[in-house]
Amino acid sequence: MEHVHCRLGDLLAELDMTLVHLSELVDVSVVNLSILKNDRAKAIRFSTLVAICQALDCEIGELLVLK
The confidence score (pLDDT) of residue 1 equals: 83
Give the model confidence (pLDDT) of 11-67 as tens digits. Answer: 999 999 999 999 999 999 999 999 999 999 999 999 999 999 999 999 999 999 999
Assess contact for 1 and 65: CB atoms under 8 A.
Answer: no
Predicted model pTM: 0.94
3-class DSSP assignment, residue 59: coil
The confidence score (pLDDT) of residue 7 equals: 98
**Alpha carbon distance 2, 19 (integer Å):** 26
Rounded to the nearest 5°, which phi and psi values hold at 2?
-80, 155
**Alpha carbon distance 52, 3 (integer Å):** 20
The confidence score (pLDDT) of residue 29 equals: 98
